[in-house]
Amino acid sequence: MIELALQSFEPKMPQPTSTAIMVIGGAEDKVHGRNILHSFFERSGGEDARIAILPCASREPAVIGERYHTIFTEMGAKAIEVLNIYDRAQCDDVALQEYVANCTGVFMTGGDQLRLCGLLSDTPIMEIVRSRVQAGAVTLAGTSAGAAVMGHHMIAGGGSGESPNHSLVDMTYGLGLIPEVIVDQHFHNRNRMARLMSAIAAHPDRLGIGIDEDTCALFEGDDILQVLGKGTVTIIDPGEMTYTNQTEIGATDPLCMCNLRVHLLSHGSCYDLRKRITIAPGHK
């Protein structure tokens, strides 16, 4: 059942203070400072925010949706709806489309990224979200599975604790909200460096983004990625890679990748996506 009760719209909709795409590595602080979630709340308009929560990656969407509903209510948001989509046909619902078209913040929860893409990819709901994100008209956040779906290519699963190899990562298509990146989450917490390197070896035209728990890679309209939170964001840049054996080896053979650039960024650090250079805290 769709948890949606459209409220009357004011003649003039409040606008976000500063829109962005917030890619969260999972397990963000939901109890104490809630710094990352509070940043999403403020960028969505603060007390004037109209927030859409998409919990459909979870197998318990009602539970996880209600948890975030409570958090944003406690912060002061007056308009929050949990869009509990459990069937693709629901994305044709005009009421849901209207709310997504007029909200100021969209939050995609964790769970299973394959489930999330299966329900939302190539639907009217996601097309509305994508067009509004591209226009800078809404703040979008995704945590864990909601982060994994951001790129055109998506890590669907895989292993850890091995040398980088083809069999270590399962790839499919994501939602294409930030098409130039491949995102991995719970990154150092679950030892996923080799997994992301294996994904980048197969797609060397993309940029690898590995995000730790309680950490956010914040993408703004000026092509700058900013790091928020307690952990790190790892950037894997294959742009100057001189050699890889990825087309010459079997599924379990170790990969060779020469001249791969790796950056490790913490809170306050930035990365210029266009120039592919890092910007340390306190520097322009």
Q: What is the pLDDT along the chain (284 residues), one digit of tens a residue?
A: 333 333 322 323 333 336 899 999 999 999 999 999 999 999 999 999 999 999 999 999 999 999 999 999 999 998 999 999 999 999 999 999 999 999 999 999 999 999 999 999 999 999 999 999 999 999 999 999 999 999 999 999 999 989 999 999 999 999 999 999 999 999 999 999 999 999 999 999 999 999 999 999 999 888 999 999 999 999 999 999 999 999 999 999 999 999 999 999 999 999 999 999 999 786 65
CATH number assigned to the domain comprising residue 131: 3.40.50.880
Domain presence at residue 2: no
What's the whole-model pTM score?
A: 0.93
Residues marked as catalytic: 144, 162, 186
Domain presence at residue 11: no
| Residue ranges making up the domain that contains 210 | 21-279
Domain presence at residue 16: no
Domain presence at residue 13: no
Q: How many domains does the chain divide into?
A: 1
Q: Where are the beta strands (DSSP E) in the chain?
A: 21-24, 50-54, 79-82, 105-108, 139-143, 153-158, 169-173, 181-185, 207-211, 215-219, 224-229, 233-237, 243-244, 257-258, 261-265, 270-272, 277-279
Tens-digit pLDDT profile for residues 121-135: 999 999 999 999 999
Tens-digit pLDDT profile for residues 9-44: 232 333 333 689 999 999 999 999 999 999 999 999
Domain presence at residue 15: no
